[in-house]
Amino acid sequence: MQTLISVIMPVFILIGFGYLAAWRGYFSESNVDGLMRFATNFAVPVLLFRAISTLDLAAEYNANLLGSFYGAAFICFTTGMLGAKFLFGRDWEDATAIGFVCLFSNSLLLGLAIMERAYGADSLTGNYAIISIHAPFCYGLGIATMEIMRARRTSKARIVPTVLKAMFSNALILGIALGFIVNIGNVPVPAPAMHAVNLLASSALPAALFGMGGVLYRYRPEGDMRTILFCCAVSLGLHPALTFLFGSLSSISVENMRSAIVTASMAPGINAYLFANMYGRAMRVAASTVLIGTAFSVFTVWLWLGVLP
């Protein structure tokens, strides 16, 4: 119970505060959009730039850590897509969007916040290693699969340019890429610039969590409840369970196991809806799963934190 109160509840209280402000009309849709644009296009990319630019790549890029998390994520994407097709009768494009919902954990806004509250700021290196390839992996897999499904009735030559354009116009990926350039190239960052980076990075998670509450209010659940609950079960149950299994089999360290499980146990993030909206597919399922999954994750994350050493 102490973990629930001291670690998880402050994060969800901040999300709830944003939800309440939007619900009562104190924070308009345009305010929410502006705050989320600031967070996702500026503050969070700068946070990722700072983390990747100072990360010990040789120490933290552990193949067993990444294999455990992303092997489980790929299985969840496939499970979500096939379940949507054969259990719920969706066409392949809808099924791909639903698979993406099961794939994309909220590794940034919730994962970092919960991990820092639970184990301290020094515990985040494994999380950053996962996050550094999270958007490229998930968007690459989702966009490539969707374009293959769409190419059945259009030109297959569009697939590679579409995937690359979508990935490298994403601010998160640009922040990560710049971080790698500074890290690998040992590029010096002037002290005044680094102070500015630190100031902007410190605002990222609070602003994003508050804004996330406003976004969740906008996308209230409607219909498709069986499909939504299926996505929640895959994202909140299957993903961390498989990650735990693969991590145990590959004997990853306690610190890496914590990072992998906490990240895998997060609800689907707003990017799940953004992907569905980008293609106009399964948007109601995506939005509702983000909302309901985030509410459920209060309890599932608590259970996983109790299991972890």
Buried b (16+ CB within 10 A) or exposed e, 184-200: eeeeeeeeeeeeebeeb
Residue 114 CB-density burial (10 A; 0-12 exposed, 13-18 middle, 19+ buried): buried
Amino acid at 114: I
Q: Which residue range forms the structural domain that includes residue 48?
A: 2-307
- Phi, psi (rounded to 5 degrees) for 222: -145, 120
Q: How far apart are CA 103 and CA 100, in angstroms?
A: 5
pLDDT for 30 equals 92
Query: What percentage of residues in the chain have a pLDDT greater than 70?
Result: 89
pLDDT for 5 equals 60
Query: What percentage of residues in the chain have a pLDDT greater than 90?
Result: 35
Q: Which value, to the nearest 10 degrees, does the dihedral of the CA atoms of residues 65, 69, 74, 77 take?
A: -170
Q: Of 39-43, 99-103, 189-193, where does the model show the most confidence? A: 99-103
pLDDT for 94 equals 95
7: confidence class by pLDDT, cuts 50, 70, 90: low
255: confidence class by pLDDT, cuts 50, 70, 90: very high
Q: Is 280 left (phi over 0), alpha (psi -120 to 50) or beta?
A: left
Q: What is the mean pLDDT of the chain?
A: 85
Q: How far apart are CA 239 and CA 294, in angstroms?
A: 15
274: confidence class by pLDDT, cuts 50, 70, 90: confident
Q: Classify 268 as helix, strand or coil.
A: strand
pLDDT for 229 equals 95
Closest CA to 232 of 265, 209, 210, 261: 265
pLDDT for 233 equals 96
Mean pLDDT score, 214-237: 86
Buried b (16+ CB within 10 A) or exposed e, 38-74: bbbebbbbbbbbbbbbebeeeebebebbbebbbbbbe
Least reliable range by pLDDT among 5-9, 105-109, 304-308: 5-9
Please work out, in degrees rounded to the nearest 5, the angle formed at the alpha carbon of residue 179 by the alpha carbons of 145 and 247.
60
Predicted TM-score of the model (pTM)? 0.78
At residue 268, does pLDDT exceed 80?
yes
At residue 9, does pLDDT exceed 80?
no
Mean pLDDT score, 223-251: 94
pLDDT for 218 equals 77
Mean pLDDT score, 85-100: 95
At residue 46, does pLDDT exceed 70?
yes
Mean pLDDT score, 218-241: 88
Does 187 or 70 have the greater pLDDT score? 70
166: confidence class by pLDDT, cuts 50, 70, 90: low
Q: Name the token pair of 9.
A: 């509840």
At residue 88, does pLDDT exceed 90?
yes
pLDDT for 176 equals 80
Please name the residues in contact with 262: beta carbons below 8 A apart, sequence gap of 6 or more: 111, 114, 115, 118, 127, 301, 304, 305, 308
Least reliable range by pLDDT among 11-20, 210-219, 282-291: 210-219
Mean pLDDT score, 156-181: 74
78: confidence class by pLDDT, cuts 50, 70, 90: very high
At residue 113, does pLDDT exceed 60?
yes
Q: How far apart are CA 253 and CA 245, in angstroms?
A: 13
Domain tally, the chain: 1
Q: How far apart are CA 62 and CA 177, in angstroms?
A: 19
Q: What is the DSSP letter of 105?
A: B
Residues 142/99, Cβ–Cβ less than 8 Å: yes
Q: What is the DSSP string of 16-56?
A: HHHHHHHHTTSS-HHHHHHHHHHIIIIIHHHHHHHHHHT--
CATH number at residue 235: 1.20.1530.20
pLDDT for 4 equals 55
